[in-house]
Chain A
Amino acid sequence: MKRLRITIGAVLLALAATPSMAQNLRIGLQEDPDVLDPHRARTYVGRIVFTSLCDKLVDINSKLEFIPQLAQSWSWNADNTVLTFKLRTDATFHDGAKFDAAAAKANLDRAMTLQDSLRKSELTSVAKVEAPDAETLVLTLKQADATLIAQLSDRAGMMLSPKTFNDQDPAAVGRAPVCSGPYKFVQRVQNDRIVLEKFDGYYNTKDFSFKRLTFLPIPDTTVRLSNLRAGDLDIVERINPSDAAQVKGDANLTLSTVAGLGFQQFRFNIGNGERAKTSPFKDKRVRQAFQLILDRNVINEVIGGGLFEPAQQPFPPASPYSSDKFPVTQRNVAKAKALLKEAGVERVKAELMFGNNTTTSAMAEMTQAMAAEAGFDLSLRPTEYAAMQKEAIAGNFDVIIIGWSGRVDPDGNIYGFLTTKGALNDGKYSNPDVDRLLGEARTVNDTAARKALYDQAQTIIQDELPQINIYFQPWPFAVQKKIKGFVPYPDGMIRLKGVTAG
């Protein structure tokens, strides 16, 4: 018996003795990234991996201002149609090849011509790219494009080693990407892990303290958090708002959260197909009444655990384009009822479609209850995400709750949704004035002048309400206390410069 006890004790001890891995930073992601080729990639989690793997021409700081990365500086010509970059001279790709203007040109050309490049639409304004000398990169535009710098601060501006481009097998790049970031690619096992290793040839290698990064996709939020609490992970992204209190109460963990660039919104079917003709929401007064029943603060506190910052505008508070002219609308049932009466409808029957997950379901149920008080009879239709996307495009809805991950440039948060031909305009809202204003705002580089245009557009949009924003998508990270120096950015990326294991 005694021997058995000793044996059990020894086994338990052996089980508990996990080797410490301070050199390895383990990051828990909510899903498995898609293909690791910046020109063909599309997922948010993929961008988190790219942030350590692939340097870009420019980066952003936490105030959404553009800062140098592979480009040391940039300048525009007088009519904003020629953009000239001065590039770093000390950057190398992970395969040892030197980064220069010719390499940058090869990348941009690939991004604009590769058949299944998802960057084409981001670079449509670029007419040609030239590399007059090794440190100078010149982009000549078809017309002024204020959104371009922001595009180049993301995947469109990421640089791969041109040696790896393979016309016979364009997919090869994504299986073993060779970039110039602080970490190089080691291995990927789909649905399991992506491993990166510190690149000693990086120009700023001393600012990065971890030898190895391991990205582990763990879709279940509870399990992801459990792994962190068990010490098997160091950073996890997107914890459940309802778990925020638990993280704060854990002496070993820090909650690090920031209002992101993205938002959740109600999108109405105004002109998409047959369904729109009978939709009660084709009358703008009904949409206005719908906004008045909404209490964004309650949604924030009850469902968001205080992380769901109420959103009226498509631009987050950190953005210079956020305007103080459009404060968050407060709930007012009496006014909502009056508007419905004016519109000649006492009871509004409509269907609310939403993605079938815990948070959105709770929000849909809460909306249903809040709306009922003013005379809305909302029926709920939880739908699996991929199916909902298709229904939305087909116009098979009255109103949907749908999210957007957000873009650094304001255009990305508004143009596609509200212009007549916008690819994301599921409700087929159309107003020539809005089209004109948003189109013009794309071409103006001056922040104040551009903001004036967005303010004008918003005046119309906030009255006609083709969509109602609910809250800004937060990026809540939970981090081990021993990890020092981690700062969350509004774009939700994990930047490891200056982050240490304490």
Chain B
Amino acid sequence: MLKLILRRVLVAIPTLILVSMIVFGLQKILPGDPVLTLAGEERDPAVLDYLRDKYRLDDPLPMQYAAWVGQVLQGDLGRSLRTDVPVTTLIAQKLPVTLQLAVMAMFWALLIGIPAGILAAVKKGTKVEYGANVAALSGMSIPNFWLGILLIMLVSVQWRLLPASGYVPPSQDLWLSFKTMLMPSIVLSTALAAYLMRHTRSSMLEALNADYVRTARAKGVSPRGVVLRHALRNALMPIVTLVTLLFGELLAGAVLTEQVFTIPGFGKLIVDAVFNRDYAVVQGVVLVVAAGFIIMNLVADVLYILINPRLRHA
């Protein structure tokens, strides 16, 4: 077990290096010049030269990369070109925000997606299944930004029930924090719930047709017991992997949802940084997000082994 985790971690290192190189390279291909966005409207040539020199933007690319990696290895992700704030500080500020949004969205998704999936599988061929399918398809295809703006218009502007956007840390006001995050987390959860429902449904269907379920039925286990204790347990295995991977994706920030609800999380940070050509921020955040994603993958692997004893000896 420990050996397996160790092996996974070692494999992750080259992935991280590759990611950092790709991000670094792609950014330089981006049209536009960070110095021009930094120097202000007047673009004083003396300032342009100074900034170019300060951020070593005239150095050859490999040298720039090496300098950056050197910094990163010492735990320094650099400073935002735009506001001078250390990137590590920015990440520390944004991580709880994104985490809160991700956890809440995942909670709604699990709350709705899994029971709906079970129901759709058990009531196969009935109106319930069709209903669940239509809901899932809508959840997947309705764009988040549209649903978000619609909800803001209705819930905040018309009915004045919830704050339209923004972010309040739970430490400051737990109830207000929950209220502010409610709409965005629901919007974000629509697609997730839909995925979970579809996967739960198909994996449940498979399980319900399995031999052990027939055996359980023959033994006289109650229908509820068959579904929940026998079928669901086995059906959930692929779902666990899916959930961890989806959660990893959520950590990268929900770009559109965060933009619409002006939530200062990772997604908004990256988008704003790209538009401002704030290289240091883009590089730092992508690196951290990639690391997070790799960790979630690792967690998925470990969970899988924990749930499925057969894999422990493989």
Contact = CB atoms under 8 A, between A and B. Distances in A.
Interface of A: 12, 14-16, 18, 32, 34-35, 42-43, 115-116, 118, 120-121, 171, 174-175, 189-193, 216-220, 222-223, 226-227, 229-232, 384-387, 389-391, 393, 404-405, 416, 423-424
Contact of B47 (A120, A189, A190, A192): A120
A42 B46 contact: no
Contacts of A32: 272
A230 B166 CA distance: 13
A15 B47 contact: no
Contacts of A12: 161
Interface string B16-59: 00000000000000111100111111111111001100100000
B164 interface: yes
Given A12-B161, A171-B84, A226 B156 contact: yes
A499 B152 CA distance: 29
A229 to B, nearest CB: 5
B118 interface: no
Contacts of A405: 41
Q: How large is the interface on B (under 10, 10 to 19, 20 to 34, 35 or more residues)?
A: 35 or more
Contact of A386 (B31, B41, B159): B31
Contacts of B93: 189-190
Interface stretch (B133-141, B213-221, B236-244, B259-267): B259-267
Contact of B272 (A121, A191, A229, A231): A191
Contact of A223 (B42, B149, B179, B275): B149
Given A189-B93, A192-B262, A386-B277, 5 more contacts: A42-B38, A115-B50, A171-B79, A389-B36, A390-B32
A281 B187 CA distance: 50
Contacts of A391: 31
A423 B157 contact: no
A384 B32 contact: yes
A229 B159 CA distance: 11
A418 to B, nearest CB: 15
Given A35-B83, A416-B42, A118 B32 contact: no
11 contacts: A190-B93, A192-B167, A223-B260, A226-B149, A226-B152, A230-B152, A230-B160, A232-B163, A386-B275, A387-B30, A423-B45
A15 B162 CA distance: 6
Contacts of A16: 159-161
Interface in B270-285: 272, 275-277
Contact of A227 (B39, B79, B83, B164): B164
Nearest to A19: B176
B260 A232 contact: no
Contacts of A232: 156, 163-166
A438 to B, nearest CB: 16
B80 interface: yes
Interface string B82-96: 111100001001100
A437 B92 CA distance: 54
Given A386-B32, A423-B43, A174 B259 contact: no
A118 B259 contact: no
B84 A389 contact: no
The 10 closest A-B pairs by CB, nearest first: A42-B40, A386-B32, A387-B31, A192-B264, A230-B156, A171-B84, A121-B44, A230-B164, A191-B264, A227-B164
A65 B41 CA distance: 24
A216 B262 contact: yes
Nearest to B90: A190
A32 B45 CA distance: 25
A35 B82 contact: yes
A116 B79 CA distance: 15
Given A190-B93, A216-B166, A405-B41, A223 B262 contact: yes
A43 B94 CA distance: 23
Contacts of B264: 189-192
B268 interface: yes
Contacts of B262: 192, 216-220, 223
